[in-house]
Amino acid sequence: MHKEEFLRYLSVDKKYSSHTISAYSRDIDDFVIFVVGESDHMDFLKVDRDVFRAWIAFMFESGLSNRSINRKLISLRSFYRYLLKEDYINDNPLKQITPLKANKKIYPSFSISEMDSLWGREIFTDDFQGVRDSLILELLYFTGIRLSELIELKIKDIDLMLSQIKVLGKGNKERIIPICENFKRVISKYISLREGFLNDSKSEMFFITDSKKKVYSTFVYKKVNLYLSQVSSKEKRSPHMLRHTFATHLLDNGADINEIKELLGHSSLASTQHYIHQSIKKIKHSYNSAHPRAKKNR
């Protein structure tokens, strides 16, 4: 009962994506299974920090990485904060549990030449489906929006007069993303084709499937993988990689990291800094190649 209330809260109040909510649900279920396994009489509303420490040890011994354990702790921490807020518990047992030290995650990105090839070849058809698919990838790369944000875009969120897109991000936070003239023309073409494709049907959603329904995560993943596989040999080809590529290419071309943070919708600069590892490598390479003292020491 408490879990279902919490999941509704994440969906309705926090506007979390279905993918994120499913992950939270699994993490809570995993913890409840562990608690029941420890004792048939143990109540997960009355667990203390020692139970969480035992769970962390269990996950570590099961082979989970520190990063995976931390992600599960984030889910449970949020769940118990909710229980405390709703007065189901008197104290949060996780408040003194600190995250495990984890190696920084490496976010791969596509090269500029790969991105140029994507739209430089005749990969996309010129009908509704082809223009839609192209725009999905362009929007991910040109604006850096999240997959969940792209799926939830509505027609009313696109303002071609003001050259901007309104996005509802994590935590129900709204942000405005500017769009350039070339991109506006692509959007205008899609909107025109979309109206003809819908015919007498109605939909407030900006992106729709071939059956005129709202697009969903698997649909977008498949489109991204299909087209990127034609220009890149990278094993992983995901919407998030296009988001990271957006940030990396901006940084490489002189954009301020604080401005990139705002465009990405990050609440802290630390989140944005995870995206810059490849740019740091380029800076080091440029330094070693160009600085006179660096060249002398080779």
Could you tell me if residue 203 is inside a domain? yes
| Higher-confidence position of 53 and 198 | 198
Q: What is the mean pLDDT of residues 160-182?
A: 88
User: 2 an active-site residue?
Assistant: no
> Do residue 216 and residue 276 come from a single domain?
yes
> Do residue 60 and residue 157 come from a single domain?
no
> Do residue 24 and residue 74 come from a single domain?
yes
| Number of C-beta neighbours around residue 146 at 10 A | 18
| The pLDDT of residue 193 is above 80 | yes
Could you tell me if residue 295 is inside a domain? no
Confidence label for 41 from pLDDT (cuts 50, 70 and 90)? low
Query: Of 49, 212, 240, 274, which is the active-site residue?
Result: 240
User: 121 an active-site residue?
Assistant: no
| Higher-confidence position of 117 and 271 | 117
Closest CA to 136 of 223, 210, 19, 196: 223
User: 19 an active-site residue?
Assistant: no
**What would the pLDDT profile of 54-109 be if each residue is shown by its tens digit?**
888 888 877 788 888 999 999 999 999 999 999 998 988 888 888 887 666 666 78
> Do residue 151 and residue 231 come from a single domain?
yes
Could you tell me if residue 294 is inside a domain? no
Range of 180-184, 189-193, 244-248 with top mean pLDDT: 189-193
> Do residue 52 and residue 119 come from a single domain?
no
**What would the pLDDT profile of 212-256 be if each residue is shown by its tens digit?**
999 988 899 999 999 999 999 988 888 989 998 998 888 888 888
What residues contact 248, with CB distance under 8 A and at least 6 apart? 109, 275, 276, 278, 279
Confidence label for 291 from pLDDT (cuts 50, 70 and 90)? very low
Confidence label for 42 from pLDDT (cuts 50, 70 and 90)? low
User: 240 an active-site residue?
Assistant: yes
Confidence label for 132 from pLDDT (cuts 50, 70 and 90)? very high
At 53, which CATH number? 1.10.150.130
> Do residue 210 and residue 124 come from a single domain?
yes
> Do residue 121 and residue 242 come from a single domain?
yes
Query: Of 146, 237, 249, 261, which is the active-site residue?
Result: 146
| Higher-confidence position of 68 and 170 | 68
Cα dihedral 186, 187, 189, 191, rounded to 10, equals 170
> Do residue 224 and residue 276 come from a single domain?
yes
**What would the pLDDT profile of 137-163 be if each residue is shown by its tens digit?**
999 999 999 888 999 999 999 999 999
Could you tell me if residue 90 is inside a domain? no
Could you tell me if residue 297 is inside a domain? no
User: 287 an active-site residue?
Assistant: no
- Which residues on adjacent β-strands are paired with residue 205? 154
| Number of C-beta neighbours around residue 219 at 10 A | 16
CA gap 94, 78 in Å, rounded: 10
Residue 68 lies in domain:
2-85
Q: What is the mean pLDDT of residues 101-130?
A: 85
Percent of the chain whose predicted confidence (pLDDT) is above 70: 87
> Do residue 244 and residue 128 come from a single domain?
yes
> Do residue 217 and residue 121 come from a single domain?
yes
Query: Of 243, 244, 249, 261, which is the active-site residue?
Result: 243
Confidence label for 188 from pLDDT (cuts 50, 70 and 90)? very high
| The pLDDT of residue 192 is above 90 | yes
CA gap 264, 270 in Å, rounded: 12
User: 146 an active-site residue?
Assistant: yes
Do the beta carbons of residue 133 and residue 114 sit within 8 Å? Answer: no
Could you tell me if residue 16 is inside a domain? yes
Domain boundary among 45, 67, 85: 85
At 129, which CATH number? 1.10.443.10
Could you tell me if residue 100 is inside a domain? no
Domain count, the chain: 2
> Do residue 193 and residue 46 come from a single domain?
no
Could you tell me if residue 191 is inside a domain? yes
| The pLDDT of residue 287 is above 50 | no
> Do residue 145 and residue 63 come from a single domain?
no
